[in-house]
Structure 1
Amino acid sequence: MPNQTFSLYLDVVRFLAAVLVLLYHSNWRELITDQVPLGGYGHSAVIIFFVLSGFVIAYVSDVKEADAKSYAVNRLSRIYSVAIPVLLMTPLLDVWGESISPVFYEDKTTHDLWYVRIFSSLLFLNEVWFVSIMSFSNVPYWSLCYEVWYYVIYAAYIFMRGWKRWVAIVSIALLLGPKILLLFPLWLVGVAIYKWQITYNLSVFKACVLWLMSFFAFYGFHEYGVQYALADLLKAWGGDYLYEQLTFSKYFLSDYLLVPIIAINFIAFRRLSGLCPNMPQAVSRCIRYVSGFTFILYLSHQPLLQFYGAVINGNPDSSRFYLTVIGLVIITVFALGFLTERRKRTWKRFFDLLLSWKGRTRSLNT
């Protein structure tokens, strides 16, 4: 079980990863002429999310959610409390913003077959097989269409038994196709970190060295362009068609090199956190509060960036324009957080009643 310090560390990493994704998507010339510092770390930040997600799901299913119903209620309320409001908000912002300043939406959104986009997004089917359905301007939504199915596969594994378990897992795999499954082992690394208790036996010195080295390795990974070099290699080997069909999984070669760096960072800090297992209450409360807006920041920032960019339509040579847009995005994210993530209990009660009603209906019919 992670101690408080390690748990807070993961919250900090999770929030900073969302900030990196925000910087990545804000790094376009309509908003700012210069390159944004740390603006090239977006995809790597998503891989951090995958590893974190695997760790957290392994923990909660082991300690807090011992049955399938509680697992389902918590996952559904967590996801839909944010996904549904953002999904409904995005096309409205897109249409409004595009009518004000179309340049901010060129090749960055689409409105055709809107009902298909909403339906597939609600069921997280946007990236199955070689389909790639854009959720309007909300590009980051793709990762949710991977992660949700990792929850489902893991639930089938831990809550089902015998031949039914494997029939369910194979059926889900056949529904999803290779793109989503290609990154599933990265998510499972998070599960392995939680399960692999032997890492607590690291010496403090080794843990400190490994933790510091992981930051240098993470920096070097991006400084030397490993992600794009291996993507180009994949394109040369497999051809343009395969490269394009893989869409967000086309960086899988470098992702498999990046994940050990992330894993080492988490493993090493888990050992170091044992030196100070508890943090001051004020620090803990502050970190928990801010990190509570991570999901809404991640899932809403892209349409908000484009909308505020279009509304203000300032000079990209001026940092004032860029900082104003970023400031408005952050303010809006925090406001949305109180209407979404901070209302998880309401969604939780809804899904609890829904699944309880389904369970009673099933028992009456048998």
Structure 2
Amino acid sequence: MNKVTSGYLDMWRVIAAVVVVLGHLNDWSGKGLDLFRPAAGAQGVLVFFVLSGFVISHVVTRREGDWRSYAIARGARLYSVALPALVLTFVVDALCAPLPHWILGDSVTGSPVLQYAAGVTFLTEVWGRHIQIGSNTPYWSMGYEVPFYICFGLAWFLPGRWKWLSLGAVAIFGPRIAIMGLLWLLGAGTQFACRRRWLGARAGAVLFGAAMLSWAVFQVLVHRGAIGWSNTPLYWHKLRDLPGDFFVAGLFAASILGIDAACRERAVPAALMRGVQWIAGATFTLYLMHVPIAQAFLSLVPVRLDTAAGKVALLATILLATLAIAEVTERRKQGWQRLFTRLLAPRAAAPLPVR
């Protein structure tokens, strides 16, 4: 992967995570930040799905050459953030829910044991059954992401006719996960297309410009109500939303293919590259933990979210807390790598790098 493409993907990891946060902030405040409403939530997750498919297909062709190294890398990546997120959610819910400024009220129901068991095993969305983990609304997408990892791993690493077991796994997880898995595969297919270098620099520049322009026009039309796309979370998915979802994902995939071709031989300033990578290295934590961080802040510091000062205070708190927490979660995956290495590849000399 060339450095421009890598930096572009990292930039979009940051944008997608921040857009999800802004969407939730807008929902909580009930007013303001309307510019972000059409682009929030679901579109950020769509970008993450395409990004994930691109990156995972890249690493399996470069350094994760067997199922053990693949499982070690995925396990370390997931649990280094998912388990701390579950713990933080449980603690914040237990301590802050009784306080008067709890923003979700009594909307979270169901057995906590079932919720957290489903969260640990990432079985929150099997066959369309949505299990919310406490007040942590963004965690639902892990119930899609992990099945994508499993099915892709089976298809990639199983020999010969055994690859058909991947289709059986898709059937086990249900039709919604299978349908949205096509977006993940779109990202994987884009990576393979980039490797084959089908486009020249000029064609790539045209494709990138057309994709970005089309995406901007789409945002304006949705914002003005000219396109009836509900932009609901995927666990509420309706068939009429699918064209919009695939259109957005397709434009993002086209932009990756275009910029990869247009900037294949270009360099990126090292300092800029390091900065973007460092910020992107906290986006998984930001995505999974911004809701409990916000819950704790709003319960303890009753700011008004219908004011600019209240929004800025909450957003700054989320970002600063995320950067601090990321230092002990996704930036420190070595312990989880060693654990999964002992479980799955006890004779391995050292765990592989994790993406």
Aligned residue for 2:162?
A: 164
Whole-angstrom distance in 2 between the partners of 1:65 and 1:327: 37
Residues 1:199 and 1:163: Cα distance change in structure 2 (over 3 Å):
closer
Structure 2, unaligned stretches of length 5 or more?
349-355
CA–CA distance in structure 2, aligned partners of residues 12 and 106 of structure 1: 35
Taking every aligned residue pair, what percent have the same amino acid on both sides? 28
CA distance, structure 2, for counterparts of residue 125 and residue 159 of structure 1: 23
For 1:206 and 1:269, locate their aligned partners in 2 and report how far apart those are by CA, in whole Å.
10
CA distance in structure 1 between the partners assigned to 2:45 and 2:291 by the alignment: 14
Q: 1:199 to 1:157 in 2, by over 3 A?
A: closer
Q: CA deviation at 1:205?
A: 3.2
Q: Counterpart of 2:314?
A: 325
Cα contact 1:32–1:318 (8 A) shared by 2: no
Q: Does structure 1 conserve the Cα–Cα contact (< 8 Å) formed by 2:102 and 2:295?
A: no
Report the AA paired with residue 309 of structure 1.
Answer: L
Instruction: Write the distance in 2 (CA, Å) between the matches of 1:198 and 1:187.
Output: 17
CA distance in 2: counterparts of 1:201 and 1:322, whole angstroms: 45
Alignment pair present for 1:259 and 2:249: yes
Q: Which residue of 2 aligns with 1:40?
A: 38
TM-score, reference length from structure 1: 0.87
Deviations 1:275-306 (A, max 9, x none): 41x32221121111111101101111122223
Match of 2:340 in 1: 351
1:174 and 2:164 correspond: no
Counterpart mapping for 1:200-279 below 5 A: 200-225=197-222, 229-230=228-229, 247-248=236-237, 251-276=241-266, 278-279=267-268
- Change in Cα spacing, 1:227 to 1:327, as seen in structure 2 (3 Å) is farther
Output the CA distance in 1 between the equivalents of 2:328 and 2:38.
31
TM-score between the two structures when normalised by the length of structure 2: 0.90
How far off is 1:248 after superposition? 4.4
CA distance in 2, matches of 1:231, 1:288: 33
Deviation, structure 1 residue 174: 2.6
Q: 1:105 aligns to what SS in structure 2? A: coil
Is the 2:130–2:235 contact (alpha carbons within 8 Å) kept by the matching residues of 1?
Answer: no
- Distance in 2 (CA, whole Å) between partners of 1:118 and 1:126 is 9
Distance apart, 1:199 and its partner CA: 6.8
* Per-residue Cα deviation, 1:136-180 (whole angstroms, up to 9, x for no partner): 1111111111011111111111111233221x2233123201111
Tell me what 1:148 maps to.
146
Q: Deviations over 1:172-229 (max 9, x none)?
A: 1232011111111111011111112487343433322321222221122222228972
Mapped partners of 1:324, 1:260: distance in 2: 35
Is the contact between residue 204 and residue 258 of structure 2 (CA under 8 Å) also seen in structure 1? Answer: yes
| Residue in 2 that maps onto 1:297 | 286
1:120: Cα distance to partner? Answer: 0.6
Aligned counterpart, 2:352: none
Amino acid at match of 1:296: T
CA distance in 2, matches of 1:158, 1:245: 26
- The residue matched to 1:104 in structure 2 has which SS? coil
**Where do residues 99-178 of structure 1 align in structure 2 (5 Å cutoff)?**
99-106=98-105, 108-110=107-109, 112-166=110-164, 168-178=165-175
**Partners of 1:81 and 1:341 within 8 A in 2:** yes
* 1:210–1:107 Cα change, 3 Å: farther
3-state secondary structure, aligned to 1:99: coil
> CA offsets per residue over residues 79-104 of structure 1, 9 Å max, x none?
00000010111022123222222551
Q: CA deviation at 1:129?
A: 0.5
Equivalent-residue separation in structure 2 for 1:80 and 1:47 (angstroms) = 22
Alignment-mate amino acid for residue 184 of structure 1: G
Secondary structure in 2 matching 1:137: coil
Matched with 1:191 is 188
1:95: which partner in 2? 94
Secondary structure of the 1:207 match is helix
The answer to whether the 8 A contact 1:227-1:255 is kept is: no
Corresponding letter in the other structure for 1:182: I
Q: Which amino acid aligns with 2:201?
A: V
Is contact 1:90-1:138 (8 Å) kept?
yes
| Bigger proportion of residues as helix | 1
CA distance in structure 2 between the aligned counterparts of 1:55 and 1:249, rounded to whole angstroms: 26
Q: Number of residue pairs matched?
A: 344
In 1, Cα distance between equivalents of 2:22 and 2:255: 22
Whether the aligned pair in 1 keeps the contact of 2:115 and 2:132 (CA below 8 Å) is yes
Which stretch shifts more, 188-197 or 52-61? 188-197
